[in-house]
Structure 1
Amino acid sequence: MRIGRRTFLTGAGACACASVGLLNTKPAFARDRIKIRDLYKTQAEFSAPAKAYAASREVIEVPGFMAPPLKAEASFFVLTQRPMAVCPFCETSADWPSDIVFIRTRETVDAVAFNRPIITTGILELGEAKDKETGFVSLVRLVDAKFELI
């Protein structure tokens, strides 16, 4: 069977378009990712994407660094935008920096070096909340979270 030039080019073009479409689609196992800096529109207001993720209650990814834990054998930690040698946790939500996220895990956290990048997955929650176990007040949290080294 002989394929004409026009048929070949039409078929090749369709394959190329389909391939580009496959490259632009997210694999079924992939999660949406948001950077800490993109959680806020302004210092006092959350961004539209952050609000959408919080409303959806879907698991998302947030890259960052684990701040040194406040206590051993905890099921929480603070995720920071940049490596920090000391924990940046504040006492009130009024002092809450816009470059950290409170992470609540299901299991006890094995701390990693403060300068090792990690990716944290969990459900985003926004707004002032007091953690029942620790008494810490936060404005941004990932709950039911897990993390892994990048």
Structure 2
Amino acid sequence: MSGKCFALPMNRRAVLGAGCAALLPFPVHAAPPELAFNELYARIGVLGMEFSQKVLDLSGQRVRITGFMAPPLKAEADFFVLGKAPMAICPFCSSDADWPDDILVVYLRRRQTFAHLADMIVVEGVLEHGSWTDPETGFVSLLRLRDADYRRI
């Protein structure tokens, strides 16, 4: 080299931001997109339910949705039903033709005991859409979150 030094322009904000980022134990990721129950379907009518464009666009991605846990079939399980309002009974139906427009099934990362049935919770998981029958339980769903976690609000 010719002995010349090259200085990068730095300001106080850049130095502080770089220093703070170096202290974090993991990379900072943006929060997953929010999904609301009123955004699940585009139309509900005589011909059935059609998924909204937002559901189609977010399918396969990690999303966040807020709601209430329906009473599970067992005290400890790896799935539950999430609804927009508190429920007194589990809303699983006999077929996807009877599927309510304000619920989705949540498959958790790990089996756990449920204790927050009356509390509002926020759930994050990978969104899936389309009719699917769980081979273990026989339950049919139109919308699911997989690899999910939840927390009480």
TM-score range, shorter chain: 0.7 to 0.9
Q: CA deviation at 1:50?
A: 0.6
> Distance in 2 between the 1:74 and 1:28 partners?
29
Q: Trace 1:66-85 onto structure 2 (pairs within 5 A).
A: 66-85=69-88
Q: CA deviation at 1:71?
A: 1.4
Q: Deviations over 1:73-130 (max 9, x none)?
A: 2100000110112111111101000000011112113213322000111011111000
In proportion to residue count, which structure has more helix? 1
> Distance in 2 between the 1:106 and 1:37 partners?
26
Partner of 2:58: 53
4+ residue segments displaced more than 3 Å: none
Partner of 1:125: 128
Partner of 2:20: none
So what's the TM-score if we normalise by structure 2?
0.75
Q: Letter of the 1:117 partner, please give it.
A: M
Q: Letter of the 1:41 partner, please give it.
A: A
Q: Trace 1:1-150 onto structure 2 (pairs within 5 A).
A: 28-43=29-44, 44-54=49-59, 57-150=60-153
> Distance in 2 between the 1:114 and 1:37 partners?
21
Q: CA deviation at 1:36?
A: 1.6
Q: Deviations over 1:17-44 (max 9, x none)?
A: xxxxxxxxxx833110101221111121
> Distance in 2 between the 1:133 and 1:78 partners?
16
The answer to whether the Cα contact below 8 Å between 2:63 and 2:124 also exists between their aligned partners in 1 is: yes
| Equivalent residues, number | 122
Q: Percent identity over the alignment? A: 43
Q: Letter of the 1:30 partner, please give it.
A: A
The answer to whether the Cα contact below 8 Å between 2:116 and 2:152 also exists between their aligned partners in 1 is: no
Q: Unpaired runs of 5+ in structure 2?
A: 1-27
Once superposed, what is the RMSD of the aligned Cα atoms?
1.3
The answer to whether the Cα contact below 8 Å between 1:67 and 1:114 also exists between their aligned partners in 2 is: yes
> Distance in 2 between the 1:126 and 1:51 partners?
8
Q: Unpaired runs of 5+ in structure 1?
A: 1-26
The answer to whether the Cα contact below 8 Å between 1:66 and 1:112 also exists between their aligned partners in 2 is: no
Q: Letter of the 2:144 partner, please give it.
A: R
